[in-house]
Structure 1
Amino acid sequence: MSGAVYDTDLLVVGAGPAGLAAALHAARAGMSVTVCEKRPDPVDKACGEGLMPGGVRRLHALGVRPEGVPLVGIDYLDPSGRRAHAPFPAGPGMGVRRTALQAALSAAAHAAGAHRLDVRVTAVAQDATGVTAAGVRARWLIAADGLHSPLRRHLGVPVRRGFPRRFGLRRHWRAEPWSRSVQVVWGPHAEAYITPVAADQVGVAVLYRPAAASPDTAAHHAYAALLETFPHLCRRLAHADPASSVRGAGPMRQYPARRVVGRVLLAGDAAGYEDALTGEGISLALAQAEAAVDALVAGSPARYGHAWRRLTRRYRWLTRALVLATAHPGARSLLVPGCRAAPAAFRAAVRQLAAS
């Protein structure tokens, strides 16, 4: 096929929030778009499912309004129940099932003219004028195929995986939310994230290091063992029924050497991930999708590399500092008392995160 002939302007690999948001931005910018995703809708994965206010604003700007629960702030708690609260100062966040978010984005992308191919893409060929994958010739490709991106690996992009190695497990429970905030309970070796996602459902994610539970242990056994280290939370869930299976992800920290490889751009988790600790993953994925499409519309993919560093700088610095500062159980035990003793500093940190 001639390099001057294209089946589509943009190939998007991956139908998660980053890929679908990119497809939607591109279609509305006048590009023809094809989304490649082998997994059937809705695509689910381990996810904290809390959107920062900045992410909610980006969704609404796209005209996407999934059903969810407004969130007013973030609570840090210790295992005894002591709490430090920081409100979102400029509008609410949102707790939303990943499946509901994906379905809403998928419908919007389809309505905007994006087409879908039910195919798994693990390789791409490219030249000076275009890319070819899954038998489709395109001008550009956005790889939004997850934390362990097969396309990133195929392209030979080196990835730095840092210390400490952390993993996440998530399950939903049928229970009326007891807070309008995302609650983070800091245990000696793990954190539990409680996110209201519906009027009768909460998502509970546990982030941990292998010392707390082996990543080789079956996910549901590891999750149950970790949950037992949070007695107050266990009592809350004592009479609640599970509403989903246990899903896992990790190791979390992955930092690719670059995000632009010729005519291929990496977005979402494929572009690099620090940690779920500060809850910005989906919000940043939406921001990256917009920046990637802006760069392609301008015909300057290198612009996206600069935009990615600018968009994620605050997240990377704050999250990395917090992960390292709480790597030792002694330091972890001081975090909630420290936030209670210096509420202005805690509120300022949350204000920075909320803007993402």
Structure 2
Amino acid sequence: MTDTDVLVVGGGPVGLGAAVEARRAGLEVVVVEPRAGTIDKACGEGLMPGALRLLQGWDVDPPGRPIAGIRYCSGETAVSHRFVGPAGRGVRRTALHEALRRRAAELGVVTVTGRVDDVEVLTSRGTVRAAGVEARWLLACDGLHSTVRRRLGLDVDPDRPAAADARRGTDDRRRYGLRHHVGVAPWTDLVEVHWTPTAEVYVTPVADDVVGIAVLGPRGTDLDAAVAASPALARRVADAPVVSTTRGAGPLRQRSHRRAAGPVRLVGDASGYVDALTGEGLRVGWAQARAAVATLDDPEAYERAWRAATRDYRVLTAGLVRWATSPARPLVVPVARRAPRVFAGVVERLAR
């Protein structure tokens, strides 16, 4: 006997998405999460059209502002592309989390407030136990610094440079994110990415009177300094009040040896993460959640599905990060402007 079919560790957007998917498949689900209530975290908050489509397939439709495309900016140089198909949406992380919490509760997902300090795979029983709950399967959706990944020995040391980085004498993985909101009416329906000498500043419309500002850069990056390094953006928000707490995340680069171990599946950031540069974390995480539920009885099938779901993201994002952390960084926006079809192709791929 088990307490539930599926135990989801982590009650963030990916964990709740996994719980919703499992309930829609007719499985009993328990979510264990140490934080009560609505959870906020550092996030760019831009849902690309594909991510919004996944959400709406679960009957989740959070409020926000339409996102019609992407604009890259560097000084006076800019290049934009508007999505060919439906728009995405800028959504406050708290609004997204609350909408997913409501949907999970409507479907009968049981949420337990608790912390997973260890994971026990009960081989003789074919089950797994964590936080006092025994289940047939465990979906680890506990983020960048996943306890489940570490406890099961699936972690790859994030402080050890990959061989290619070591040969170059660089380590492009040590990047961090910061985010807060300012009270100003959005001036565009595009996500703006301002490329400064050392960081990328993302501006996302999330409400009629609020924009989110997120910064990606090396350790020690200061959000206010990054905004100031883009004079055009600094002028836009010069008199706007900060209306949320500054939150951070990182290091962003995380790797795992495998994504499946017996009855355990690593899902979302817990399974490995490249960077937030392309803004695909949630879409890829939800795609993994759907794949995990579809392949619960076949660990190797999940490994294949995970690779398929993340291949484009891993290749494109890793390439952009290498460019962004190289001496050629100042050429990113000028090259995109001179090759608008290539830029449009990249944006459309992100929109899927």
TM-score range, shorter chain: over 0.9
Partner of 1:21: 17
1:126 aligns with 2:121: yes
CA distance in 2, matches of 1:179, 1:26: 38
Cα distance, 1:324 vs. partner? Answer: 0.6
Tell me how far apart the structure 2 counterparts of residues 71 and 160 of structure 1 sit (CA, whole Å).
36
Counterpart of 1:147 in 2: which secondary structure? Answer: coil
Summarize deviations over 1:197-218 as a string: whole Å, max 9, x none: 11111110011113xx36xxxx
Corresponding pairs, count: 338
The answer to whether the 8 A contact 1:53-1:93 is kept is yes
Distance 2:271 2:139 in 1: 10
> Residue in 1 aligned with 2:202?
193
> 1:203 matched to which residue of 2?
212
- Alignment pair present for 1:147 and 2:141: no
CA offset at residue 156 of structure 1?
Answer: 1.2
Conservation of the 8 A alpha-carbon contact between 1:68 and 1:94: yes
Structure 1 position 309 matched with structure 2 position 307: yes
- Residue type at the aligned position of 1:150: T
Q: Give 5+ residue unaligned stretches, structure 1.
A: 215-221
Letter in 1 for 2:309: L
Shift of 1:225: 2.7
2:258 maps to 1:258:
yes
Q: Structure 2: how far apart are the matches of 1:133 and 1:327?
A: 39
Residue of structure 1 in register with 2:26 after alignment? 30
Who is 2:179 aligned against?
170
Deviation digits for residues 271-301 of structure 1 (CA, Å, limit 9, x no counterpart): 11100000101111111111111112xx223
Q: Secondary structure at the match of 2:328?
A: helix
1:99 lines up with 2:82 in the alignment: no
Matches within 5 A, 1:27-66: 27-66=23-62
Partner Cα separation in structure 1 for residue 298 and residue 231 of structure 2:
53
Match of 1:179 among 174, 188, 198: 188
TM-superposed CA distance for 1:160, in Å, is 4.8
In the alignment, the residues of structure 1 paired with residue 128 and residue 324 of structure 2 have an alpha-carbon distance, to the nearest angstrom, of 44
Q: Which residue in 1 is equivalent to 2:80?
A: 85
1:160-212 Cα distance to aligned partner (Å, 9 max, x none): 535211111101111101110111011111110001111111110011113xx
Asked whether the equivalents of residues 177 and 200 of structure 1 are also in contact (C-alpha less than 8 Å), the reply is yes
Find the partner of 1:117 among 112, 115, 125.
112
Q: What CA distance in whole angstroms lies between the structure 2 residues aligned with 1:76 and 1:225? A: 19
Shift of 1:82: 2.1
CA contact (8 A) 1:160 1:257 kept: no
Contact 1:38 1:118 in 2 (8 A): yes
Equivalent residue number for residue 237 of structure 1: 237
State the TM-score, normalizing by the size of structure 1: 0.92
Residue 338 of structure 2 is matched in structure 1 by: 341
Identity of aligned residues (%): 49
- Is 1:321 aligned to residue 330 of structure 2? no
CA positional deviation for 1:44: 1.1
> Root-mean-square deviation (CA), in Å?
1.2
The 10-residue stretch of structure 1 (191-200 or 224-233) with the greater mean CA deviation from structure 2: 224-233
Unaligned 5+ runs, structure 2: 162-170
Residue 226 of structure 1 deviates from its aligned partner by 2.7
Distance 1:160 1:321, change over 3 A: farther
- Answer whether contact 2:47 2:89 (CA < 8 A) is retained: yes
